[in-house]
Chain A
Amino acid sequence: MKEKIQRIKELVEENLRGASDLEALENIRIKFLGKKGELTAVLKGMGALPAEERPVIGAMANEVRAFLEREIDGKKEELSAKLREAKLKREVIDVTMPGRVQETGKLHPLTSVMNSVKDIFLGMGFQIADGPEVEYDYYNFEALNIPPDHPARDSQDTFYINDNVVLRSQTSPMQIRVMEKQKPPIRIIAPGMVYRSDAVDATHSPVFHQIEGLVVDKGITMADLKGTLEMFIKSLYGSETKVRFRPHHFQFTEPSAEVDVSCFVCGGEGCRVCKGEGWIEILGCGMVHPKVLSNCGIDPEEYSGFAFGLGLERIAMRKYDIDDLRLFYENDLRFLKQF
């Protein structure tokens, strides 16, 4: 009996060495350890043994069975690992092939830049105001201290609907609309489309976008104007940007300024982009004219404020190095998809 068991053990060990796949392994298991297997058959013959030998042989048989099961499992593990390895090798793919893209759309570049500008001002506690594009002459000009027949109207070639209604030539009428409705403190930006009768070319469009800003409160100073706009510009263009406030004239602000930033290309040395000046004008601003405050029922002795206006197209053109404004309104997908 002992020998038989020993023999089975040896046979299994020998067979295992030769087994090269999982099927062969399973066959070995069935042949020797299965219900009808050889070891089982041996054990079934245990009844014929003397009673005192049975526990000894039984223990031995169990030991061998356990041993063989471990062996088989070990072999199985080994074979599985090999198979896995082989499968992984077969599964190698060319990862440099292009991915499958779920195509998403793109925001218009003007919207993207508008969003960055909005975000900066939202972060500074500004709200966003909105108003009509077909506007009364009163809001577009008169309330802004530009009476009829004033020469300042020349600088903005205006589209008229009738004597009293225009296509707004600037977002500044929103200053008046906001001040008429809201009491200080006021901190708003008013982005939107504006219209001027300029023929279309690489740098002009009869339709373009402006962003107006207005702050009115007690004790607002020109230093606040400088600080706020400097912060905005550095957020937009980077903290190393140099900012210059230069006196200018607008009818509805006094004092007024134009703001230049150091040239993006040459950094201030002077180049073709900045026409050798080293500076590029990006916005107009100033302290709200006392007449404008009065026109809106705000006492200029008690309150002061500042306003600014910037052209969105110009900022976007600089940001993306776009040299022709018409591209914005042509909406060629080959252009739109670049942003």
Chain B
Amino acid sequence: MKLPMSWLNDYTDVSGISPKEYAHVMTMTGSKVEGVESMGAEINKVVCGKVLECEPHPDSDHLSVCKVDAGTGEVLQIVCGAPNVKAGIIVPTALHGSTLPGGVKIKKGKLRGVVSNGMLCSHDELGLTAADLGYEPEYGILILPEDTPVGKDIKEVFGLNEDVVEFEITSNRPDCFSVIGLARETAASFKRPFAVKKPCFTEAGGDIHELIDIQVQNKEKCLRYTSKMVRNVKIGPSPEWMVRRLKACGVRSINNIVDITNYVLLEYGQPMHAFDLRDLAGGKIVVRSAHPGEIIKTLDETDRKLTPDDLVIADGEKAVAVAGVMGGFNSEVKPDTQTVVFESATFDGTSVRKTAQRIGLRTEASSRYEKGLDVYNTLPAVERACQLVEELGCGEIVGGTIDIFGNRKEKTTLALRPEKINAFLGTDISKEQMIEILRTLEFEVDEAAMTITAPTFRPDIECEADISEEIARFYGYDLIPTTLLSGETTIGIKNKEQQAEDRLSSVMLSQGFNEICTYTFTSPSVFDKLNIPSDSDMRNVVKIRNPLGEDTSVMRTTTLGSMLETLSRNLNFSNKSAKLFEIGRIYIPREGELPEEPEILTLGMYGDSFDFYDIKGACEAVISEMHVKDVSYEQCTDNPTFHPGRCACITAGDRQIGVVGQLHPSVAANYDIDVPVYAAQIELEGLMAAAESTVKYKQLPKFPAVTRDIAMLVDVQVPVAALEGIITAAGGKLMESVQLFDVYEGKQIPEGKKSVAYSVVFRAADRSLTNDEVNVIFDKMLKNLEKEAGAQLR
């Protein structure tokens, strides 16, 4: 809401308050000031001057030497270069030491040897546009009307000496969307007087009741309908002061009657509408629900289809306005309008809001109505409009008022408990001060019963906390003390999952992986890009009904898409290699309840001649950090996203907790990645479930170990995990560890075979092992390897 400070003076007194102080104090009492625009702030010492004489410059063919009376008590000699300068005109005159927009400073000087004591200005030099003037001025200096007083400050002439304050009004304060509402807050904030005078005007006779019939059929949605009539209307332009105020508030002047309704809207916060009586068929206004499918052409010349949930203002035949939203095209005020019917009504906020949403039309009026307007404001507002009609001389007020109430709401009365309020705020404000603050804000206070009744323009006051806020903001938020929490002590500690996540992150960091953060919604096309079959469960997604675009229209069921997008982007940024991880959610729809949102650790990498074992190693580091036992990696050939020969399922116990592998080249290509790219996903819940939560110290060995190496030839297809299984099974309790140290194919190895070598460590906790003891086990290992894996020992 924009508000010229001078308008406030009609209701309170803001003299002597600088815009900066005003902004600060209002902000601290809850009316947040977004900024103050000082119109014409840069213009200083520019006055109206009369050109008394105008002679050509002796030394120039286009300059003139003028004698100017600028009301300074002496005649000023000013050199002017404008072609339209002549004796007798009144023009803006920048005196010696004056300033103009853009930081221009005007000083005494000589122009081609002739003294010039200032400058005669064009509209452009004053920062005025044709729109400001209301006409296109001729080229040259700005010629002012002949009756403009000499010496008058140019800012006064053009209404430029105005500070316009822009407020951020919160949705709970519809009353503050008005000059009067803000004047009331201003008065309370600065402890200045505040008064709204009852508008006075003379009625010219006649009776509105005989000229129009108004009925309110829907009393739930129309809470009050107040109307007055103006006849012998003379449509024309509004006076300059009104145009200026409207303009400062960002409202364009249309004609006197429309301007009056807008002026009252700004001043009283009450939307108004002016109908041309000629257009109301049957001389009737009926406030009713729209007929199913009823169509109205609104002021913006658009046909709107309505439903019975929409409230309309109708005449004897048809809808002439969508109640609280916009008037109809057919009944607006026209240049030859004779009789005007003013509507000043209150409609149910929710109903207006729904209608505005339904027909996709948010207007100044609807955005006010939906916040809940004061039913007691309709009459003063329409009377103010009549007063303005009289003041502007643009019509005669017909006698009588039509004023129909719909369903009335009770006023809110609440107990005032100062001790409770102080206990709530942590303050020590006296009862008297509380009462004073509330009365300033027009609350009725019953000191005997210790109750308050909120004014009808404050629909936001519903409970004690609301009263506390009123008191707090005028007592001063900054005066409320600052204390630390007392009471029962609570422990600030992360839970197990949160601690585990921290550990996961730090393992990833130590492995050189950088954390990323990605959008959790994605495009449905991601599944095709990942080669996910059309019947996959992963395609069952949580869909956003009103997405920003197709690209962000579904919640992801896999994190791989976002990871690959990020890797691709990095490749595109010429980052030679990347190791990335993310701990993020996926969203799995569930019938009849909210989706499941499991957290997934996702790893991704490319570059630096990384291969499968680099990313697998990173997974192993994570799993080892969590002390997960019984982990296995099994070849997975049927995950269509991954390379069929380079992908493993990660299993802990009998639960699959993840997948790791090289992305299928076609998937990589779908993401414009032309290098080998690797990724892994580990489901956190599965990982945590398999994690060993208690870690116990094992005695360091007291007795020496015996190490034996095994080297063998096996078929290429035999996975080393199978060999390890055989070794471990045979090793029994005395085997401490088995370590793969070489795998080799090629020269000196027969075709179809590979050489595999292990180092096996044996140890007993309670004695030194003898060679014989070890030999027995070792021989069994070798035998089993030969038998079960067809190994040829070397």
User: Could you list which residues of chain A lie within 8 angstroms of chain B, going by C-beta atoms?
Assistant: 102-108, 110-111, 118, 121-128, 132-136, 149, 151-152, 154-155, 159-162, 165, 167, 185, 187, 193, 195, 197, 199, 206-207, 215, 217-224, 226-228, 230-231, 244-249, 251, 254-258, 275, 287, 289-291, 304, 328-334, 336-337
Q: Is the CB of A247 within 8 A of B486?
A: no
Q: Is the CB of A187 within 8 A of B477?
A: no
Residue of B nearest to A124 (CB): B492
Q: Taking A193-B520, A207-B519 as contacts, is the C-beta distance between A336 and B350 under 8 angstroms?
A: no
B692 to A: closest C-beta gap in Å: 24
Most chain A CB neighbours (cut-off 10 Å) among B170, B485, B494, B580: B485
Q: Taking A187-B490, A249-B172, A336-B514 as contacts, is the C-beta distance between A290 and B463 under 8 angstroms?
A: yes
Cα of A216 to Cα of B492 in the assembled complex, Å? 15
A-chain residues with CB within 8 Å of residue B170 when the two chains form the complex: 248-249
Q: Is the CB of A228 within 8 A of B484?
A: yes
Q: Is the CB of A226 within 8 A of B594?
A: no
Q: Taking A122-B492, A255-B469 as contacts, is the C-beta distance between A221 and B594 under 8 angstroms?
A: no
Per-residue 0/1 for B294-319: is the Cβ within 8 Å of any A Cβ (1 yes, 0 no)? 00000000000000000000000000
Q: Is the CB of A222 within 8 A of B478?
A: no
Residue of B nearest to A189 (CB): B492
Q: Is the CB of A247 within 8 A of B469?
A: yes
For B580, give its contact among A135, A287, A331 (CB under 8 Å).
A331
Per-residue 0/1 for B66-87: is the Cβ within 8 Å of any A Cβ (1 yes, 0 no)? 0000000000000000000000
Q: Is the interface of A mostly helix, strand, loop or mixed?
A: mixed
Q: Is the CB of A247 within 8 A of B472?
A: yes
Cα of A92 to Cα of B183 in the assembled complex, Å? 82
B-chain residues with CB within 8 Å of residue A185 when the two chains form the complex: 487-488, 490
Known pairs A151-B349, A197-B546; list 5 more (Cβ under 8 Å): A152-B172, A223-B483, A255-B425, A255-B469, A334-B575
Cα of A159 to Cα of B543 in the assembled complex, Å? 10
Cα of A207 to Cα of B575 in the assembled complex, Å? 26
B415 to A: closest C-beta gap in Å: 12
Query: Which interface class (under 10, 10 to 19, 20 to 34, 35 or more) fits B?
Result: 35 or more
Q: Is the CB of B423 within 8 A of A219?
A: yes
Q: Is the CB of A222 within 8 A of B546?
A: no
Residue of B nearest to A200 (CB): B548
For A255, give its contact among B35, B473, B580 (CB under 8 Å).
B473
A-facing residues in B543-566 (Cβ within 8 Å): 543-548, 552, 555, 566
Q: Is the CB of A244 within 8 A of B478?
A: yes
A-chain residues with CB within 8 Å of residue B463 when the two chains form the complex: 254, 290-291
A-chain residues with CB within 8 Å of residue B513 when the two chains form the complex: 105
For B573, give its contact among A247, A248, A334 (CB under 8 Å).
A334
Q: Is the CB of A207 within 8 A of B469?
A: no
Cα of A215 to Cα of B490 in the assembled complex, Å? 11
Cα of A128 to Cα of B499 in the assembled complex, Å? 11
Q: Count the A-B residue pairs with Cβ separation under 8 angstroms: how many?
A: 243
User: Could you list which residues of chain B lie within 8 angstroms of chain A, going by C-beta atoms?
Assistant: 27-30, 32, 35, 170-173, 349-350, 353-354, 367, 370-371, 423-427, 460, 463-466, 468-469, 472-473, 477-478, 480-495, 498, 505, 508-521, 542-548, 552, 555, 566, 569-570, 573, 575, 578-581, 585, 587, 594-595, 597
For B35, give its contact among A246, A275, A331, A334 (CB under 8 Å).
A275
Q: Taking A149-B354, A248-B170 as contacts, is the C-beta distance between A128 and B498 under 8 angstroms?
A: yes
A-chain residues with CB within 8 Å of residue B595 when the two chains form the complex: 132, 134
Cα of A197 to Cα of B513 in the assembled complex, Å? 32
Q: Is the CB of B465 within 8 A of A126?
A: no
Residue of B nearest to A192 (CB): B585
A68 to B: closest C-beta gap in Å: 47
Q: Is the CB of B427 within 8 A of A223?
A: yes
Q: Is the CB of B483 within 8 A of A221?
A: yes
Cα of A165 to Cα of B494 in the assembled complex, Å? 29
B-chain residues with CB within 8 Å of residue A103 when the two chains form the complex: 512
B-chain residues with CB within 8 Å of residue A154 when the two chains form the complex: 171
A67 to B: closest C-beta gap in Å: 49
Residue of A nearest to B599 (CB): A130
Cα of A110 to Cα of B491 in the assembled complex, Å? 25
Residue of B nearest to A151 (CB): B171
Cα of A161 to Cα of B554 in the assembled complex, Å? 9
Q: Is the CB of B482 within 8 A of A226?
A: yes
Q: Is the CB of A221 within 8 A of B424?
A: yes
Q: Taking A105-B514, A128-B494, A136-B594 as contacts, is the C-beta distance between A245 and B477 under 8 angstroms?
A: yes
Cα of A165 to Cα of B508 in the assembled complex, Å? 35
Q: Is the CB of A333 within 8 A of B514?
A: yes
Could you list 14 A-B pairs, sorted by A, with CB under 8 Å? A105-B515, A111-B517, A125-B489, A134-B542, A152-B171, A161-B544, A167-B521, A222-B480, A223-B481, A246-B477, A255-B425, A290-B465, A334-B573, A336-B515
Q: Is the CB of B28 within 8 A of A222?
A: no
For B472, give its contact among A108, A135, A222 (CB under 8 Å).
A222
B-chain residues with CB within 8 Å of residue A152 when the two chains form the complex: 171-172
Q: Is the CB of B487 within 8 A of A290?
A: no
Cα of A1 to Cα of B353 in the assembled complex, Å? 131
Q: Taking A199-B548, A223-B425, A223-B483 as contacts, is the C-beta distance between A106 and B514 under 8 angstroms?
A: yes
Q: Is the CB of B370 within 8 A of A160?
A: no
Cα of A122 to Cα of B517 in the assembled complex, Å? 23
For A159, give its contact among B30, B354, B510, B547 (CB under 8 Å).
B547
For B424, give its contact among A136, A165, A287 (CB under 8 Å).
A287
Cα of A239 to Cα of B196 in the assembled complex, Å? 47
A-chain residues with CB within 8 Å of residue B542 when the two chains form the complex: 134, 161
B-chain residues with CB within 8 Å of residue A193 when the two chains form the complex: 520, 585
Q: Taking A108-B517, A125-B492 as contacts, is the C-beta distance between A247 and B483 under 8 angstroms?
A: no
Q: Is the CB of B171 within 8 A of A249?
A: yes
A252 to B: closest C-beta gap in Å: 11
Cα of A221 to Cα of B546 in the assembled complex, Å? 40
For A290, give its contact among B464, B511, B544, B555 (CB under 8 Å).
B464
A230 to B: closest C-beta gap in Å: 5
